[in-house]
């Protein structure tokens, strides 16, 4: 409570309901962000309504099935059975909620402008049922100012006043698919409110769900926090991707250089290069900030350059494949090429913005016959085309002219790959412990193991 005793009736009732675990929490969007949050809220003892536009998602959750790899179906089934988690299509039931977390997609348009149409639709649904005492929290990554400039006017249009009648916050999602150590509960949760009471309400509810809550002074500070986190990663990935291309021209193995640099106990943070960047965050988030700053007549030059460098990596990888085939006196046109891994990173099933898909399109444009194998992704649907994962049996693999490792899944038999005669272009350093002269790294030069294998095949020491 405020020391001065000036709390509104709405904040007093809301904080009391949260404290007694009587608050009903609504989560709009049951995807990679929303479903884990809904499950964690239910585990904390709140009753949770999960809202989604997909009948299949709603039916699956209510049947106790999880469609998200990081959320176990046994947890969903138990919480549904206990009556603490329910999925619904009917947005009218938002009126039952004390807390509403908005976890909807925020993609970019083809011109890299923010597409906030899902946020607008969700806010319209909330505004139509908004009543005194509700707390609304936006979790979708977006440009600074979205919560205050876009959502707030829509929510206040009905006559209720923010900070007195209802409460509005921004709290950036920090979901890392496939990360078993840092999950929703133990990842510190940043939150900022439109007013002090908004922030108090947000801290109160998330403080019962997460181990650590980090309050900041405004929604803009919270929005910018998320963009800084992922811009930092995008820029550093661009740096090592450029280092990979420089190392290639110098005939040096960039992964060996990075491992050596990482032995420095201060002043260096390890990032690794790859075939490009994927997922819903790193390829997109910096562009929200770049777009916002363009509206303020400021150009984010480092962000723009990092985006260019990262987007060039698929073409660089295709050149590596072409060179590998040329070394065997084969043209890329007509060659059978197998892509190992289409998920955007190791041991997950997420193909959003995956560079592997760009590489497939580039190879096919050059006339290659391309297939893929991914133990986590049985099929990929895009542009009306369905691609299906092929078997990774040794006899099957031996029929390809080149194998390209774009995702280093841990359940792939890399020892089997080392026995193949075809060139293997390894963009993830997955074959670092497999002595084979047929492996071509992301940059020039050989790892010691590859160098020894090459020497042995040539009859050297």
Mean pLDDT for the stretch of residues 421-436: 92
Co-location of 353 and 426 in the same domain: yes
Co-location of 307 and 439 in the same domain: yes
Task: Give the torsion through C-alpha atoms of 128, 132, 137, 140, to 10 deg.
Answer: 10
- Its domain, for residue 173, covers 9-217
> Taking 70 as the threshold, does the pLDDT of residue 296 lie above it?
yes
Q: Looking at 153, 185, 217, which one is the last position of a domain?
A: 217
Mean pLDDT over the full length of the chain:
93
Mean pLDDT for the stretch of residues 428-440: 90
Instruction: Give a yes or no: residue 143 inside a domain.
Output: yes
Which residue among the candidates 25, 97, 103, 281 is catalytic per the annotation?
281
CA dihedral sign, ordered 284, 285, 290, 296: positive
Co-location of 73 and 203 in the same domain: yes
Q: Looking at 202, 217, 232, which one is the last position of a domain?
A: 217
What does the alpha-carbon distance between residue 255 and residue 239 come to, in Å, rounded to a whole number?
A: 13
Instruction: Give a yes or no: residue 166 inside a domain.
Output: yes
Co-location of 286 and 421 in the same domain: yes
Per-residue model confidence as pLDDT tens digits over 370-392: 999 999 999 999 888 899 999 88
78: pLDDT confidence band, cut at 50, 70 and 90?
very high
Instruction: Kindly give the residue spans of alpha helices, DSSP state H, lying in 20-69.
Output: 34-43, 55-62
Q: Looking at 217, 247, 280, which one is the last position of a domain?
A: 217
Co-location of 212 and 245 in the same domain: no
Per-residue model confidence as pLDDT tens digits over 248-278: 999 999 999 999 999 999 999 999 999 999 9
Judge whether 99 and 168 are in contact, CB under 8 Å: no
- Which residues are CB-contacts of 438 (< 8 A; sequence separation ≥ 6)? 418, 420, 421, 422, 423, 424
Q: Structurally, how many domains does the chain consist of?
A: 2
Co-location of 209 and 257 in the same domain: no
Task: Give the torsion through C-alpha atoms of 27, 47, 20, 188, to 10 deg.
Answer: -40
Co-location of 131 and 270 in the same domain: no
Instruction: Identify the pLDDT of residue 454.
Output: 47
In three state form, how does the secondary structure of 90-154 look? CHHHHHHCCEEEECCCCCECCCCCECCHHHHHHHHHHHCCCCCCCEEEECCCCCCCHHHHHHHHH
* CB atoms closer than 10 angstroms to residue 74: 10
Per-residue model confidence as pLDDT tens digits over 204-242: 999 999 999 999 999 999 999 999 999 999 999 999 999
Instruction: Identify the pLDDT of residue 109.
Output: 78
Mean pLDDT for the stretch of residues 37-53: 98
Two tokens, residue 99: 């807390």
Co-location of 278 and 166 in the same domain: no
Instruction: Identify the pLDDT of residue 2.
Output: 52
Start-to-end Cα distance in the chain: 77
Instruction: Give a yes or no: residue 205 inside a domain.
Output: yes
36: pLDDT confidence band, cut at 50, 70 and 90?
very high
Instruction: Identify the pLDDT of residue 62.
Output: 98
Instruction: Give a yes or no: residue 353 inside a domain.
Output: yes
> Taking 60 as the threshold, does the pLDDT of residue 152 lie above it?
yes
Query: In Å, how far are 30, 185, 186, 279, 348 from 180, measured between CA atoms?
Result: 20, 12, 11, 17, 11
> Taking 80 as the threshold, does the pLDDT of residue 5 lie above it?
no
User: Which DSSP helix (H) or strand (E) runs through 45?
Assistant: none
- For residue 416, list its beta bridge partners: none
Co-location of 163 and 271 in the same domain: no
108: pLDDT confidence band, cut at 50, 70 and 90?
confident
Instruction: Identify the pLDDT of residue 113.
Output: 85
**198 a catalytic residue:** no
Co-location of 310 and 432 in the same domain: yes
% of the chain surpassing 70 pLDDT: 95
Instruction: Give a yes or no: residue 409 inside a domain.
Output: yes
pTM of the model: 0.90
> Taking 50 as the threshold, does the pLDDT of residue 4 lie above it?
no
Instruction: Identify the pLDDT of residue 111.
Output: 74
Per-residue model confidence as pLDDT tens digits over 335-364: 999 999 999 999 999 999 999 999 999 999
Instruction: Give a yes or no: residue 422 inside a domain.
Output: yes
Co-location of 265 and 377 in the same domain: yes
Co-location of 443 and 296 in the same domain: yes
CATH at 21: 3.40.50.720
Instruction: Give a yes or no: residue 454 inside a domain.
Output: yes
What does the alpha-carbon distance between residue 312 and residue 220 come to, in Å, rounded to a whole number?
A: 32
Instruction: Give a yes or no: residue 4 inside a domain.
Output: no
More confidently predicted of 426 and 279: 426
């Amino acid at each position: 409570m405020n020391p001065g005793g000036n709390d509104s009736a709405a904040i007093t009732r809301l904080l009391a309901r949260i404290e007694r675990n009587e608050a009903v929490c609504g989560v709009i969007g049951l995807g990679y962000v929303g479903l884990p949050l809904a499950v964690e809220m239910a585990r904390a003892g709140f009753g949770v309504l999960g809202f989604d536009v997909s009948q299949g998602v709603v039916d699956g959750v209510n049947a106790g099935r999880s469609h998200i790899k990081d959320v176990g179906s046994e947890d969903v089934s138990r919480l549904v059975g206990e009556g603490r988690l329910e999925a619904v299509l009917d947005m009218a039931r938002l009126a039952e909620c004390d807390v509403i977390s908005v976890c909807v997609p925020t993609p970019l348009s083809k011109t890299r402008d923010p597409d906030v149409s899902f946020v607008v639709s969700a806010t319209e649904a909330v505004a139509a049922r908004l009543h005194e005492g509700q707390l609304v929290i936006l979790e979708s990554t977006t440009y600074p100012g979205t919560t205050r400039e876009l959502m707030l006017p829509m929510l206040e249009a009905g006559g209720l006043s923010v900070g007195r009648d209802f409460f509005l916050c921004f709290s950036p999602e920090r979901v890392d698919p496939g990360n078993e150590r840092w999950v929703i509960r133990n990842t510190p949760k940043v939150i900022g409110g439109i007013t002090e009471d908004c922030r108090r309400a947000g801290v109160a509810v998330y403080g019962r769900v997460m181990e650590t809550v980090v309050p900041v002074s405004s929604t803009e500070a919270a929005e910018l926090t998320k963009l800084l986190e992922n811009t930092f990663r995008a820029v550093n990935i661009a740096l090592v991707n450029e280092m990979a291309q420089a190392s290639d021209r110098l005939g040096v193995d960039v992964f060996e250089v990075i491992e050596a640099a990482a032995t420095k106990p201060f002043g260096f943070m390890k990032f690794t290069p790859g075939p490009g960047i994927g997922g819903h965050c790193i390829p997109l988030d910096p562009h929200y900030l770049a777009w916002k700053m363009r509206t303020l007549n400021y150009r984010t030059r480092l962000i723009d350059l990092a985006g260019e460098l990262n987007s060039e990596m698929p073409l660089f990888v295709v050149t590596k494949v072409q060179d590998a085939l040329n070394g065997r006196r084969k043209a890329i046109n007509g060659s059978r090429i197998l892509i190992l891994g289409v998920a955007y990173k190791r041991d997950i099933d997420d193909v959003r913005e995956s560079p592997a898909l760009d590489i497939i399109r580039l190879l096919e444009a050059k006339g290659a016959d391309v297939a893929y194998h991914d133990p986590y992704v049985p099929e990929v649907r895009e542009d009306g085309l369905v691609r299906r994962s092929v078997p990774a049996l040794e006899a099957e693999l031996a029929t390809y002219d080149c194998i390209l490792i774009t995702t280093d899944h841990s359940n792939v038999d890399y020892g089997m790959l080392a026995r193949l005669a075809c060139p293997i272009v390894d963009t993830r350093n997955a074959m670092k412990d497999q002595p084979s002269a047929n492996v071509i790294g992301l940059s020039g030069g050989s790892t010691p193991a590859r160098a020894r294998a090459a020497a042995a095949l040539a009859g050297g020491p």
